[in-house]
Structure 1
Amino acid sequence: MRACILLCALLTPAVHAATCTATSGATHHSLLELYTSEGCSSCPPADRWLSQLPEDANVVPLAFHVDYWDRLGWKDPYAQAAFSQRQRARNSGPGWIYTPQFMLDGKDFRGWRRGLKPAPPASIAAVELMLTITQTPQYLEAKAESRPRAPDGGRAGQLFLALTENKLSSTVTAGENARRTLRHDHVVRELAGPFDASRAHYRFALQPGWKAADLGVAAFITNARGDPLQALAQPACP
């Protein structure tokens, strides 16, 4: 029996795992959310604008593809009903939703149409975030921790983890964008949470067709009202 156990262990292929970490530091990093759809003819310019954001923009970009355009001829392969619900909840005050919509730290941001870059305040953050990801061919495990930097930093807040993918494209054959090839970055594949404000731990199961080298994880923490306090992103481990 012992010989069999030893032989089986020797025959089991080793699982390669890579680990990398990121820390937000004391500077506030804004959360930039895009609500978009491949079925919306006015959305491709917003997708391109998001892809062209410089790395030093001091924002963490997330593209949420909504599904309420799917009934009009083209089913967006990246859309999820949960993201449509999130957009509705984020707009519960105004009571309406539209695409493409950008939200910067929870507030409607329309400056992108005039070519303006998001200009989050260069302020000291109320919360510091630490993010560690461990990546294997089967899963991507993310652990995030928060550290208050002010007496009320992150109080009664919540942590979220988002698995994202870059360099995606679709050749659309129906709907408003028929005969167009659309390209996307920062696409949210899965949103996990909410977790307790102090720490979050989640294992994302990687699906066939997802490109491991183009994956990444974003962590963000909100206050009790749902306003983002801090955000942090870590691309795939090299």
Structure 2
Amino acid sequence: MRIVLLFCCVLAIPVADAATCNAVSGASRNSLLELYTSEGCSSCPPADRWLSHLPDDAGVVPLAFHVDYWDRLGWRDPFAQAAFSQRQRARNNGAGWVYTPQVMLDGQDYRAWQRGLPVRSTAPAPVRLALTLAQSADRMEVQADSRFDDPAAGHEAQLYLALTENRLSSEVTAGENARRVLHHDHVVRQLAGPFDPHHVRQRFRLQPGWKAADLGVTAFVLDARGATLQALALPGCP
């Protein structure tokens, strides 16, 4: 009961004319699922569709990172960022190779994604996460709080916040996917962190053209090896 009360008492974020919403992670650990993808890659659309259709009870929190190293081959992905290409290399332990589509599950290369996901673990999560959002027309204020069952586990842990958007599409006119309309969900618009996981406040500036009703925030805590301690997604509240 003390844990529940702690997370129910998350401080409100004062933002004028803003809608607010909140969420708390459950007792089990959610896995972080990262898809590295590109609109310039002809083998990526099946992975994009797979990510969009993951069931809510799969025990994973999905994120789609669009990389930019395909952009020079005829089509510039409007959702790609160089920082996400760098992240992919870093998550591969600095290895020189990268590929798309790459699915990473809890920081490990997961090539069996087309055959489904592993059975969801029921082991207790080492950390509980609480998220509070306050969303206005031009910004989203985020507060994230963590509680570790073992305080020592939080010493080297790091928390990240990802601003995401769903129901995106592009009419591709060049490159390997020319003359195709591509659809995407869980697309990372901005990634912030790493932060000390215990208490974080972050402001995201919303760009023109982003659809307020399709925005959301994902918080995830990684240990020193990059493995997932907990992940939590919260749709926006326009």
* TM-score for the superposition, normalised by structure 1: 0.90
Aligned AA for 2:237?
C
**1:26–1:124 Cα contact (<8 Å) kept:** yes
1:200 alignment partner, SS class: strand
CA gap of 1:103–1:132, structure 2 versus 1, over 3 A, is same
2:211 match: 211
In the alignment, the residues of structure 2 paired with residue 15 and residue 118 of structure 1 have an alpha-carbon distance, to the nearest angstrom, of 44
**1:160–1:200 Cα contact (<8 Å) kept:** no
Aligned AA for 2:73?
L
1:64 match: 65
Deviates more, 1:216-225 or 1:147-156: 147-156
1:100 match: 101
CA gap of 1:96–1:120, structure 2 versus 1, over 3 A, is farther
In the alignment, the residues of structure 2 paired with residue 37 and residue 212 of structure 1 have an alpha-carbon distance, to the nearest angstrom, of 23
2:145 match: 145
1:22 has 2:23 as partner = yes
Answer with 1 or 2: which has the greater Rg: 1
1:78 match: 79
> Which runs of no fewer than 5 residues in structure 1 stay unpaired?
1-13
In the alignment, the residues of structure 2 paired with residue 23 and residue 227 of structure 1 have an alpha-carbon distance, to the nearest angstrom, of 20
CA gap of 1:69–1:163, structure 2 versus 1, over 3 A, is same
1:190 has 2:190 as partner = yes
1:178 match: 178
In the alignment, the residues of structure 2 paired with residue 232 and residue 166 of structure 1 have an alpha-carbon distance, to the nearest angstrom, of 16
1:39 has 2:40 as partner = yes
**1:154–1:221 Cα contact (<8 Å) kept:** no
The aligned length equals 224
Structure 1 position 94, deviation (Å)? 5.0
CA gap of 1:150–1:120, structure 2 versus 1, over 3 A, is farther
* TM-score for the superposition, normalised by structure 2: 0.90
What is the percentage of aligned positions where both structures have the same residue? 68
1:233 match: 233
Q: Report Cα offsets for 1:188-229 as digits up to 9, x if no partner.
A: 000001111212211100000000000000000111122221
> Which runs of no fewer than 5 residues in structure 2 stay unpaired?
1-14
1:56 alignment partner, SS class: coil
2:169 match: 169
In the alignment, the residues of structure 1 paired with residue 118 and residue 217 of structure 2 have an alpha-carbon distance, to the nearest angstrom, of 21
2:26 alignment partner, SS class: coil
1:209 alignment partner, SS class: coil
In the alignment, the residues of structure 2 paired with residue 112 and residue 221 of structure 1 have an alpha-carbon distance, to the nearest angstrom, of 23
Indicate the RMSD between aligned Cα atoms, in angstroms: 1.5
Aligned AA for 1:219?
A
Structure 1 position 149, deviation (Å)? 1.5
